[in-house]
Amino acid sequence: MYALTLGIILLSLTLTNVARANNEEEQVSRQFLAGAGPLCSVQPDACPDIARASNGDTVAIAGSGKFTPGDDDASGRGTFTHRNSAGVVASGKWKVEELVSFTSFGLAGAPFPPTFEGGVVVLRIELRPSSGGEIQALLTITCEFGSVPPGAHEGIKLNVGFLNFDHSVSGLTVFIQVADD
């Protein structure tokens, strides 16, 4: 009986430590780069990230920011350009409003830095076209490091409600685990 009780206690402590480790992992902040910064020197079509809508329009996104899973707060900003067959429809800046969700695919592994991570983040952003106004949108950023599930594709997607740029065309992204200050 004593051995059984001791086994149950040890098992519960192990599960508690695993749950605590997973919760701490969730609280680690991540920096994101989407078609910006040092990614631009990796390959010719790394920057900006481009996604296409079903009508053929494209959106180019470049930017960076930071978020912490388990916390709605996120920050970041960048630029966008919306094009159709006739040329530029709109361009301007975007700003992160809120973290909607984050799913980690795990760390990148060698030969990449130990803090590079794959995953998918969904951010609520505000587009600010240079012509004026504000448009609410959902920006999805996917990085193919770690254990990438089927159907995940490197790049961005942007859903502005009336137009969904849901096909990643080109560009690079990365998540970088960072120590909180």
Residues 45-101 pLDDT 10s = 999 999 999 999 999 999 999 999 988 789 999 999 999 999 999 999 999 999 999
Give all strands (DSSP E) within 9-153, no chain letters: 29-34, 49-52, 58-67, 74-84, 87-107, 116-129, 135-143
Residue-level pLDDT at 21: 37
Collapsed DSSP state (helix, strand, coil) of residue 131: coil
Give yes or no for residue 8 having a pLDDT over 50: no
Within 8 A by CB and 6+ apart from 4, the residues are none
- pTM for this one? 0.85
Lowest-confidence segment of 11-15, 71-75, 147-151 by average pLDDT: 11-15
Residue-level pLDDT at 6: 26
Give the residue with greater pLDDT, 176 vs 20. Answer: 176
Task: Give CA–CA dist 85/127, Å, rounded.
Answer: 21
Residue-level pLDDT at 181: 61
Residue-level pLDDT at 112: 94
Give yes or no for residue 160 having a pLDDT over 90: yes
Collapsed DSSP state (helix, strand, coil) of residue 172: coil
Percent of the chain residues past pLDDT 70, beyond the cut: 85
Residue-level pLDDT at 76: 98
